[in-house]
Chains A and B, each alone.
Chain A
Amino acid sequence: MAKDGTRNRPLSPHLQIWRWGPHMFVSILHRVTGDGMAFAGLGLLLWWLGALASGPEAYALLTKCMTSPLGYVVLVGISWAFFSHMMSGLRHFVLDIGAGFELKANKTFSILAPIMGVVVTAAFWALLLLR
């Protein structure tokens, strides 16, 4: 792709052309949360496991960072990305078996997936903080 002489050819319509709908939103959200977790989530997972294997001092540093205000933003963000990606991923499983393509059902699932992601994230933190 992008050989000399092809750079100025017209592009197919992209985000700024189409009227936004929930299907478009949930699809983009799936990629953003997935790729975001690939860097931040897996990085934190390795830090967590590495700190546990390294000893109490390394774990204390992790705890200190992650219980700061910014740390809580990161933790809530990663947990939200996890549950949102899970919900839109479950939507993908439904679509993969050939179901849920009727216009109304498809739109309903597209709206429900991100909402359920937020709801489950809130429930997770409620359980975590109220135990």
Chain B
Amino acid sequence: MGNGTSIGRVRGLGSAKTGVHHWLLQRFTAIGNLLTGLFLAASFVMLPDLTYASVVEWLARPVPAVAMILLVVTTFWHARLGLQVLVEDYVHEHANKFACIAALNLAACGGIAFGVFCVIRLALGAHA
């Protein structure tokens, strides 16, 4: 291992080990989306109707409430990872790219916080 050129400093060290982190998280959250998304789709079909009273009664139950909280977390996380790749592919100017990624992180965290709060509020008895 040399210490001169940049390639010389890394040759022989193998991969950076963290390169697949983004890729793996995209898959883990995809599995989460698949399970919770199908749960939501099946619930829409199985509910007697989609009036306010029916949906709130359903969402206040423990299993649907937890499923919807997980749905919000996994879909926003997955979307954040996917949109990051979109930004990296099409926004080439460094400052713009940084601004886009920063905005993306804020939007994803804000979306998760809002969605989770709404479900908890309903599940703990508001409007029940």
Which A residues form the contact surface with B (CB < 8 A)?
1-2, 31, 34-35, 37-38, 41-42, 45-46, 49-50, 52-53, 55-56, 59-60, 63, 79, 82, 86, 89-90, 92-93, 96, 124, 127-128, 131
Chain B interface extent, by class: 35 or more
Q: Which residue of B75, B121, B127 contacts A42 across the interface (Cβ within 8 Å)?
A: B75
Nearest CB on B from A27, distance (A): 13
Please determine whether A128 and B45 come into contact, CB atoms closer than 8 angstroms: yes
Q: Which residues of chain B come closer than 8 Å to A38, judged between CB atoms?
A: 79, 82-83
Please determine whether A52 and B45 come into contact, CB atoms closer than 8 angstroms: no
28 residue pairs of the A-B complex, CB under 8 angstroms, read A1-B92, A31-B82, A34-B79, A34-B82, A35-B86, A42-B76, A42-B79, A42-B111, A45-B75, A46-B114, A49-B68, A49-B114, A49-B115, A49-B118, A49-B119, A50-B118, A52-B52, A52-B122, A53-B117, A53-B119, A53-B122, A56-B52, A60-B52, A63-B50, A82-B37, A96-B27, A128-B45, A131-B45
Tell me what chain A mostly uses at the interface: helix, strand, loop, or mixed. Answer: helix
Tell yes or no: B10 within 8 A of A by CB: no
Tell me what chain B mostly uses at the interface: helix, strand, loop, or mixed. Answer: helix
* New contact pairs (4) apart from A42-B76, A53-B122, A56-B127, CB-CB < 8 Å: A38-B83, A45-B72, A49-B68, A131-B45
CA gap between A82 and B75 in the complex, in Å: 11
